[in-house]
Amino acid sequence: LVEKTFEYDVTGLKADCAFFTAPLNEDLHVDKSITHDFVEYLVRKVGTGKLLLKKHPRDEMTYEFPEKIQVTEVPKNVPAELLLGILDDTKVYFSYPSTFMQEIRTLDPKILFASSKQSDTYNPTRILDSMKTIDFGPECLVDIDEENVKDRT
């Protein structure tokens, strides 16, 4: 019923990695070049695999992946909850804390942070405070600009 409501069929949809975005530019005024940083990090993680991109409905930034990555972009109007049944064995990343992370806690989701883009509105303290509201700790935050990323995936 839910799939029919949103006219999106997830049957057979599989990915090595999923990336859920947030409206960072729209809400936090983060420089749009952050998308390039996120893409570079994800390409290192996925290699030549399949990536599921779920953009937040208010996220207007562009994410350009190289051809070697097979990207499936889920329409913005489709709720993330519709993807619950297909995320098993998938590495899951977010660009900002989301309540959806609570529903996929067992998948050990990570939040990507680009310290090079840090500002008054986009910084580890603010992100960690948001993570506390959904009961996630600093072990889920990955600084993609660190030389030795503390990412256990």
Is the torsion defined by CA of 38, 63, 86, 79 positive or negative? positive
Average pLDDT of 85-100?
94
pTM value? Answer: 0.90
In this prediction, residue 153 carries a pLDDT of 44
Band of residue 10 on the pLDDT scale cut at 50, 70, 90 = confident
- Bridge-based pairing state of the strands 50-54 and 141-143: unpaired
Could you report the per-residue pLDDT of 43-62, keeping only the tens digit for each?
998 888 999 999 999 999 99
**What percent of the chain clears pLDDT 70, i.e. is strictly above it?**
92
Write down the pLDDT at residue 140: 94
Report whether 113 contacts 40 (CB < 8 A).
no
Average pLDDT, the chain: 89
Q: State the average pLDDT over residues 18-29.
A: 96
**For residue 149, is pLDDT > 60?**
no
Helix (H) / strand (E) element for 6: namely helix 2-6
